């Protein structure tokens, strides 16, 4: 007796995007590509699977991502430890080093795609989610830091997002962080009774991350802790001031958040987040900053760099909240037909219409005209082309405008087949 097959569902926290939602994803991606092209960014694609050591080295061994969230396994073929990428920057830097992309000039690059983190799924936070990752590699000045932030302001404006605000901080340089780290450890040691398990564990290995706690019982302690900003030297302050002046020039408002440290170890100088209250507790839409030491840390020739990542699921949710979106039509033209000869003709007519750039669905199979027209209407098509025995005999097509033809257009008209592509193309 054959055992019944158990129905398979998607993994928890890994979601399907059905055709209607997928169309909105495509609209969003098209906006993003056009926006990035306006600033000279080019697409760089890297694998979703990398050696684990890339992330433990690049992200930091005592970060939440490396300690708790990575999908890591041993390759059965050769014993290598491999990890599904939990973020994109490390892989993009690896590709930059491997292919010597900074040999003759700096690079502006971006990537879009899935990343993976093993964490508790919740609104706006999934185990497979998608990021837009933008990196300016080989640029040292505050002008590029500010340009990245300003270009994000342009994206929010273009998408009609009004409830996204900017938080800004500087993490200074290594020696400044070292002085702050020593002061912070001394402070935390005097507040051990307030620290939770994570805080106690990180007090010596990564004390800055203790201040990024979400534990309400630790907030007052974290608020009163020594601030890294107070340890910055003249050069770091000048860099930060340069960023702020350029944001002021562009009319970009911001709030200085001295507790903003980001969740990755590789940042220095400028760090920033764009946040919102419209998508629940997980309110960060975009985060980034400068990471001048990462390229050397991963084995490349020292070079400055700055970048950011946007959570695409959160951005899509905000975009949909900002206004009603019309469903994207499946096609421009839907061809209905009756009879075998008309069905064969419909296939040929469909190809001729595609030759002039129209998107066409030819009704599959048979069915009554009523049923086919119902399907044509639900497709969102602007025009239905009707082919029956009379049309086959007269080498014409009946054209019915379903939507968007304007008051001057007839509800239905006969068009010679030879003229049909140009007639429909001219109607836009």
* Domain edge (last residue) among 299, 321, 343: 321
pLDDT at 315: 93
Looking at residue 217, its pLDDT comes to 84
Residue 151 lies in a domain: yes
Q: Are residues 77 and 146 in the same domain?
A: yes
- Edge-first strand order for the sheet with 333-337 is 360-362, 333-337, 383-387, 396-401, 412-416
Look up the CATH number of the domain holding residue 269. 3.30.930.10
Residue 157 has pLDDT above 80, yes or no: yes
Residue with tokens 């969230």: 69
375 contacts 334 by C-beta, under 8 angstroms: yes
Confidence check: pLDDT of 2 > 90? no
Q: Are residues 49 and 151 in the same domain?
A: yes
**Which pLDDT score is estimated for 282?**
60
Strand partners, 386: 336, 398
Residues 267 and 371 in one domain: no
Range in 29-43, 57-71, 221-235, 348-362 with the lowest mean pLDDT: 57-71
Q: Quick check: is 291 in a domain?
A: yes
Report CA torsion sign: 312, 314, 317, 321: negative
Segment among 31-35, 316-320, 365-369, 406-410 with least mean pLDDT: 406-410
Strands lying side by side in the sheet with 81-84: 49-51, 81-84, 71-74
When pLDDT is averaged across residues 164-173 and rounded to a whole number, the result is 92
Domain boundaries, position 115: 19-172+232-321
Judgement on whether residues 271 and 398 belong to the same structural domain of the protein? no
63 against 59, higher pLDDT = 59
Measured from the Cβ of residue 20, the count of other Cβ atoms closer than 10 Å reads 10
Q: How confident is the model at residue 260 (pLDDT cuts 50, 70, 90)?
A: confident
Q: Is residue 357 part of a domain?
A: yes
Predicted pLDDT of residue 193: 86
Same domain, 282 and 387: no
The pLDDT-based confidence of 367 (bands split at 50, 70, 90) is: confident
Torsion sign, CA atoms 337, 418, 350, 400:
negative
Residues 401, 261 share a domain: no
Question: Which segment of 329-333, 340-344, 400-404 scores lowest on mean pLDDT?
Answer: 400-404
Amino acid 280: pLDDT: 67
DSSP 48: S
Q: How confident is the model at residue 123 (pLDDT cuts 50, 70, 90)?
A: low
**Domain shared by 317 and 357, yes or no:** no
Q: Among 21-35, 191-205, 233-247, where is mean pLDDT lowest?
A: 191-205
Q: What is the mean pLDDT of residues 322-334?
A: 83
Report the C-alpha gap between 165 and 287 in whole angstroms: 12
4-18, 75-89, 99-113, 343-357: lowest mean pLDDT where?
A: 4-18
* Averaged pLDDT for residues 4-10: 86
For residues 94 and 151, membership in a common domain is answered with yes
Residue 404 is part of a domain; what is its CATH number?
Answer: 3.40.50.800
Number of structural domains, the chain?
A: 2
Highest averaged pLDDT of the listed ranges 55-69, 91-105, 399-413: 91-105
Q: Are 405 and 315 members of one domain?
A: no
Q: Could you tell me the pLDDT band of residue 281, with boundaries at 50, 70 and 90?
A: low
Q: What percent of the chain has pLDDT over 70?
A: 94
Residue 66 inside a domain? The answer is yes
Confidence of residue 124 (pLDDT cuts 50, 70, 90): low
pLDDT given for residue 311 in this prediction: 92
Same domain, 297 and 412: no
Longest dimension (CA), the chain: 94
Q: Tell me the pLDDT band of 428, cut-offs 50, 70 and 90.
A: low
pLDDT at 222: 86
Report if residue 328 sits inside a domain: no
Tens-digit pLDDT profile for residues 284-299: 899 999 999 899 999 9
Residue 366 has pLDDT above 80, yes or no: yes
Please report, rounded to a whole number, the percentage of residues in the chain having pLDDT higher than 90: 61
The single-letter DSSP state of residue 230 is: G
The residue whose two tokens read 């009379």 is 390
- 197 lies in some domain: no
- Does residue 360 lie in a domain region? yes
Q: Is the pLDDT of residue 195 over 80?
A: yes
Q: How many angstroms from the chain centroid is the CA of residue 380?
A: 27
Which sign does the torsion angle of CA 316, 317, 322, 323 carry? positive
Assess if residue 106 is contained within a domain.
yes
CA distance 168 to 286: 12
The distance in angstroms from the start CA to the end CA of the chain is 60
Q: What are phi and psi of 363, to 5 degrees?
A: -55, 130
Mean predicted lDDT score pLDDT of the chain: 89
Quick one: 281 and 353 in the same domain?
A: no
Least confident range from 142-146, 323-327, 343-347: namely: 323-327
Across the range 163-189, mean pLDDT stands at 90
Is residue 108 located within the same domain as residue 62?
A: yes
Please say which residue of 290, 321, 352 terminates a domain. Answer: 321
Mean pLDDT in residue range 220-224: 87
């Amino acid at each position: 007796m054959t055992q019944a097959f158990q129905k398979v569902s998607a993994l928890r926290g890994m979601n399907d995007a059905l055709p209607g939602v997928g169309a909105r994803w495509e609209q969003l991606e098209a906006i993003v590509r056009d926006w990035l092209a306006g600033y000279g960014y080019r697409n760089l694609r890297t694998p979703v699977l990398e050696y684990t050591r890339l992330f433990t080295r690049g992200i930091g061994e005592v970060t939440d991502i490396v300690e708790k969230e990575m999908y890591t396994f041993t390759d059965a073929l050769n014993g290598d430890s491999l990890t599904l990428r939990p973020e994109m920057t490390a892989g993009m830097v690896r590709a930059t080093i491997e292919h010597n992309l900074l040999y003759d000039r700096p690079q502006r690059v971006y990537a879009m795609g899935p990343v993976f983190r093993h964490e508790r799924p919740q609104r706006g936070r999934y185990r497979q989610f998608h990021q837009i990752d933008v990196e300016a590699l080989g640029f040292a000045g505050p002008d590029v830091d500010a340009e990245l932030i300003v270009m994000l302001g342009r994206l929010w404006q273009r998408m009609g997002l009004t409830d996204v605000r900017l938080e800004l901080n500087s993490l200074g340089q290594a020696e400044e962080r070292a002085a702050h780290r020593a002061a912070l450890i001394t402070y935390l040691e005097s507040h051990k009774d307030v620290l939770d398990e994570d805080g106690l564990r990180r007090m010596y290995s990564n004390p800055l991350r203790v201040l990024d706690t979400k534990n309400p019982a630790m907030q007052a302690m974290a608020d009163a802790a020594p601030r890294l900003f107070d340890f910055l030297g003249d050069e770091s302050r000048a860099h930060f001031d340069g960023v702020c002046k350029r944001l002021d020039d562009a009319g970009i408002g911001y709030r200085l958040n001295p507790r903003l440290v980001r969740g990755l170890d590789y940042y220095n100088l400028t760090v920033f987040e764009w946040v919102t209250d419209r998508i629940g507790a997980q309110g960060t839409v975009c985060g980034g900053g400068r990471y001048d030491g990462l390229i050397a840390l991963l084995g490349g020739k020292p070079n400055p760099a700055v970048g950011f990542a946007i959570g695409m699921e959160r951005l899509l949710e905000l975009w949909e909240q900002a206004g009603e979106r019309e469903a994207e039509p499946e096609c421009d033209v839907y061809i209905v037909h009756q009879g075998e000869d008309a069905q064969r003709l419909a296939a040929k007519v469909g190809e001729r219409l595609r030759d002039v750039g129209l998107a066409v669905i030819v009704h599959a199979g048979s069915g009554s005209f009523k049923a086919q027209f119902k399907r044509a209407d639900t497709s969102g098509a602007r025009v239905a082309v009707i082919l029956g025995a009379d049309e086959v005999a007269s080498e014409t097509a009946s054209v019915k405008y379903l939507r968007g033809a304007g008051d001057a257009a007839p509800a239905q008209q006969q068009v010679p087949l030879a003229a049909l592509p140009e007639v429909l193309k001219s109607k836009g």
